């Protein structure tokens, strides 16, 4: 039972990171009907920006906890802002000029931007892994004093921070979409961009803000990934991006709760498969579940059937 709880905690933590990245996929697809395959590499750029800021500011685990938390919050805010600029630049330079083109053109551009970001970071930062010392340590153990041979469940402060922040961001974004003018503009663009434009919605601005918001969330996931695993490289965006895209499709592309649910499911599948079977086939298990779900539920778990407008 203790081992099951430990894998459950690990899966929820990993799934929270996937869910934050998946929200960016599902927001862009919901409004312009395009899969932004460069989004995973925006997540990778956010990780490197966070690492650079931590090293520049000299943030160390030996600092008092209050100072450490304030410094990390500052790094998080700066990395979100800088990564959002990258997201805006990608949309403005690579996607907006092709918005009225045939549907395959933005897809090719997205793949090209993904490769460009990967190679840019590889040249700028090198191909080697970039390690970071653990900054936040400690946590809870259940039971606190296990008997000899008894397994103790570990719940770290870092895991609590990741899950709590993810839940808070999910609630905040749900309120943003449902109760603000920006959310109404996004929902209007999702239904019919041309009609939304005729009714006074600035479609270009709404789409840019969507890219910027998705990039900021990817930066949060990137910093959590850095702090949780302690090592990054230029290729993490491809792997995490594919997993997050899978999560978005599994939960229902275009649905924010679906993106988070899909991320949690992918994380749990990977954690339990690695814990009870072989970690070599955890990706096979995740994609197999995706195929099975899509066979019986083509729109995903929480997705809505696409209705063709005539």
Q: What is the CATH number of the domain that holds 52?
A: 1.10.3470
Q: What are the C-alpha distances in Å from 45 to residues 75, 79, 111, 306?
A: 14, 9, 16, 33
pLDDT at 78 over 90: yes
| Percentage of the chain lying above the pLDDT 90 cut | 42
How many domains, the chain?
1
pLDDT band, very low/low/confident/very high, at 129 (cuts 50, 70, 90)? very high
Report the DSSP beta bridge partners of residue 131: 231
Which contacts qualify for 72-78: CB closer than 8 Å, 24 or more apart? 72/135, 72/136, 72/227, 75/50, 75/223, 76/50, 76/219, 76/220, 76/223, 78/49, 78/53
According to DSSP, residue 92 is labeled: I
Mean pLDDT value across residues 129-137 = 90
Is 191 among the domain residues?
yes
Residue 146 belongs to a domain: no
How would residue 82 be classed by pLDDT, with cut points 50, 70 and 90? Answer: very high
In-domain check, residue 32: yes
DSSP 33: -
Structure tokens at 290: 């995706």
Choose between 224 and 107: higher pLDDT.
224
DSSP 231-259: EE-TTHHHHHHHHHHHHHHHH-TT-HHHH
- Tell me if 141 is assigned to some domain: no
**Does residue 99 lie within any of the structural domains?**
yes
Average pLDDT over every residue of 152-165: 91
Q: Is 139 helix (H, G, I), strand (E, B) or coil?
A: strand
User: Per residue in 13-32, pLDDT tens?
Assistant: 999 999 999 988 888 887 77
Q: What is the pLDDT of residue 224?
A: 95
CA 144-146-149 angle, 5° bins:
155
pLDDT surpasses 80 at 254:
no
- In the numeric block, which tokens belong to residue 20? 């934050």
Higher-pLDDT residue of 49 and 94 is 49
Neighbour tally for 127: CB within 10 Å = 10
- Whether 145 is in a domain gets the answer no
Arithmetic mean of pLDDT, 58-69: 86
Is 301 a member of any domain? no
Mean pLDDT, the chain, rounded, equals 87
The whole-number pLDDT of residue 74 equals 93
Q: Are 126 and 54 in contact, with CB atoms under 8 Å apart? A: no
Strand-pairing partners, residue 142, are: 153
Tens-place pLDDT, residues 185-233: 988 888 888 888 988 899 889 999 999 999 999 999 999 999 999 999 9
Residue 57 in domain: yes
Residue 209: give the domain boundaries: 2-123+130-136+154-296
Looking at residue 225, what is its pLDDT? 95
Q: What proportion of the chain, given as a percentage, has pLDDT over 70?
A: 97
Q: Which of the four pLDDT bands, split at 50, 70 and 90, describes residue 306?
A: low
Residue-level pLDDT at 307: 57
In this prediction, residue 215 carries a pLDDT of 93
Question: Are the beta carbons of 51 and 245 closer than 8 angstroms?
Answer: no
297 vs 140: CA distance, rounded Å = 39
């Amino acid at each position: 039972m203790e081992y099951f709880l430990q894998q459950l905690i690990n899966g929820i933590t990993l799934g929270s990171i996937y869910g934050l990245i998946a929200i960016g996929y599902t927001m862009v697809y919901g409004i312009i009907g395009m899969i932004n395959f460069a989004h995973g590499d925006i997540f990778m750029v956010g990780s490197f920006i966070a690492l650079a800021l931590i090293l520049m500011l000299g943030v160390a685990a030996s600092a008092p906890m209050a100072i450490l938390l304030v410094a990390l919050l500052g790094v998080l805010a700066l990395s979100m802002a800088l990564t959002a600029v990258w997201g805006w630049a990608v949309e403005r330079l690579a996607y907006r000029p092709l918005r009225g083109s045939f549907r395959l053109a933005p897809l090719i551009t997205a793949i090209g931007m993904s490769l460009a970001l990967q190679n840019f970071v590889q040249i700028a930062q090198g191909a080697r892994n970039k390690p970071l010392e653990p900054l936040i340590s400690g946590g809870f153990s259940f039971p606190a004093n296990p008997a000899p041979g008894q397994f103790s469940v570990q719940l770290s402060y870092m895991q609590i921070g990741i899950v709590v922040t993810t839940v808070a961001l999910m609630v905040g974004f749900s309120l943003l979409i449902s109760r603000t003018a920006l959310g109404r503009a996004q929902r209007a663009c999702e239904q019919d961009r041309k009609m939304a434009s005729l009714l006074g919605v600035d479609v270009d601005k709404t789409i840019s803000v969507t890219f910027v918001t998705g990039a900021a969330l990817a930066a949060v996931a990137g910093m959590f990934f850095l702090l949780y695993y302690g090592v990054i490289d230029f290729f993490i965006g491809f792997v995490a991006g594919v997993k997050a895209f899978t999560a978005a499709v599994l939960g229902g592309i275009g649905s924010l709760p679906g993106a988070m649910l899909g991320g949690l499911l992918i994380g749990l599948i990977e954690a339990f498969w690695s814990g009870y079977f072989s970690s070599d086939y955890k990706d096979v298990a995740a994609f197999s579940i995706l195929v099975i779900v899509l066979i019986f539920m083509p729109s995903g778990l929480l997705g809505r059937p696409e209705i063709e407008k005539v």
